[in-house]
Amino acid sequence: MTRLFNDPAAFADEALEGFTAAHRRWVRPVTGGVVRATATPAGQVAVVIGGGSGHYPAFSGLVGRGLAHGAAVGNVFASPSARQIHSVATAAHAGGGVLLMYGNYAGDVLHFGQAAERLAADGVETRTFAVADDISSAGPEESAKRRGIAGDLPVFKAAAAAAEQGLPLEEVLRVAERAGARTRSFGIAFSGCTLPGADHPLFTVPEARMAVGLGIHGEPGIGEEALPTADEAARLLVETLLKELPEDVADPAGQRAAVILNGLGSVKYEELFVVYRRVAALLGDAGVEIVDPEVGELVTSFDMAGISLTLTWLDDRLEELWRAPADTPAYRKGALDAAEPDPDRASATAAAQDTAVPAAPVVPAASDASRGAADTVLAALDAVARVVDAHADELGRIDAVAGDGDHGIGMRRGSTAAHRAAADAHGLGAGAGTVLTRAADAWADKAGGTSGALWGTILRSLGTALGDREAPDAARVADGVTEASAAVRRLGGAEVGDKTMVDVLVPFADALAAATAEDLPLADAWDRAATTATAAAAGTADLLPRRGRARPHAEKSLGTPDAGAHSLALITRAVHGALLDHH
């Protein structure tokens, strides 16, 4: 378990602060993460990576010459927000465009995609690439749905080395695609991990058993087997990966591969070496030439006791990029000439970030009617934060059945931050729309992950509908909820039946619109819609997930409601209480 922490909610921020203090030769802090402390040649493509905390050395430890130009760092096991990613990418950009790279998780896809849109609006040419190397999370026919685990490193490395060679953005992207298509990973674990402040692990493994095919966010394995010897573990990993070769590799014999035996947190280096001796022998027996192997902790999951094996099948070009030198806090290869810090660039970045944030808190002008409505909005957000806090443990337990168990933690971070930002805006005399949009940004920033992106979208849609000029009536609120429903579906791609929050949001929005069309007062219309939401959330227990981290464990979730759907239903009922109090 994680023993050394202060406030668990501050763990990621404090860890990043300590990391930057310890590694000033390589990195410097910027809002949202870190960038290189050394100069980047003008016109070079900036490779910006990122993801949640809890995986060190991924992602901040991989920033430096020969590897990433910057890393956006989210909260524990939660993707960084679009605003964090945008900030880091802006600081890292050297005029050649930006390639955003991340593991293939729903929250990362959403936030990095939003950041790419914002960068493009700024005039920065931007591309995105999601690493999807974990063969246990989807079959070959659905490889685009696979999650990214330790295969992040060789794919990041290939793209970054290509950028260092001065290649243009489209060619750097093609290198990433080539490396991603030739990278496969598979993992096993002997115990789950425990988040800071938690008193139990996200999943457990029975004595003398191991979990097979697990993720790096506390997701349980797709199966269990008897605890192996080191040689048996090596055989399982190698044979599993050799069963699935890239399309243009017919036989492993005569092929070259970059090999990573990765420790997930609690397996000691000596244990890894015992396993690797057999991995190397088995690959040699199969005729595979191993190129610059890596044995150690490259992508971790806090204190999880487990290992993963990654193979990147090399051609001449990928081998050149894999062998290229790199110098980062946690990953070094070959030799590079000494580099000087770039104080001018640091000063320019600081100035740019200063201008990106208002020097003093200001809010748009609002009518008295809208400011009055903001009182109700603030009360509703307070109710949301309180109900989430009261049910955070329950939401985590539901989420852990087939996911990673962090839904309650993320919702608590997001709702608390949203209420705080709303209170600040309200205190400055903001109208209802601004109170909601400030809350939306805070929720997305602090929660990260899929829920952060979606709840940020919900609150922003409501804020746009309410505005700051008029007193919102029931119909306007219903229109905002309807737009929120549509926006969430556009952003996340889920539909009713996928076992997500959409299974509650859509019927809730439809019921609210129907009730307001009957000219019911807002509190009464909301009451009816909240009842619909509660029933819809309960109904998700009968569904199998088709999206998100629960998808690989679909059967396990049968009989348990979706955590996001359940939290939304709780929130709709809590908001009804606030509406009654402010009727």
pLDDT in tens, 290-299: 999 999 999 9
Mean pLDDT of 516-529: 97
Residue 450 near residue 414, CB atoms below 8 Å: no
Selected catalytic residue, list 55, 86, 93, 217: 217
Q: Which of 423, 420, 412 is nearest to 389 (CA)?
A: 412
What is the average pLDDT value for the chain, to the nearest integer?
92
Minimum mean pLDDT among 139-143, 226-230, 433-437, 557-561: which range? 557-561
What does the alpha-carbon distance between residue 203 and residue 388 come to, in Å, rounded to a whole number?
22
pLDDT in tens, 412-456: 999 999 999 999 999 999 999 999 999 999 999 888 888 999 999
pLDDT band at 195 (very low <50, low <70, confident <90, very high): confident
Minimum mean pLDDT among 73-87, 285-299, 401-415: which range? 401-415
Mean pLDDT of 317-333: 97
pLDDT in tens, 99-151: 999 999 988 999 999 999 999 999 999 999 999 999 999 999 999 999 999 99
Minimum mean pLDDT among 2-6, 241-245, 301-305, 394-398: which range? 2-6
Q: Which two tokens stand for residue 1?
A: 């378990």
Mean pLDDT of 291-309: 95
> Where does residue 359 rank: exposed (0-12), middle (13-18), buried (19+ CB within 10 A)?
exposed
- Is residue 217 among the annotated active site residues? yes
pLDDT at residue 500 above 80? yes
Residue 65 near residue 37, CB atoms below 8 Å: no
pLDDT at residue 551 above 60? no
What is the value of pTM for the model shown? Answer: 0.88
pLDDT band at 546 (very low <50, low <70, confident <90, very high): confident
3 state SS for 239-266: HHHHCCCCCCCCCCCCCEEEEEEEECEC
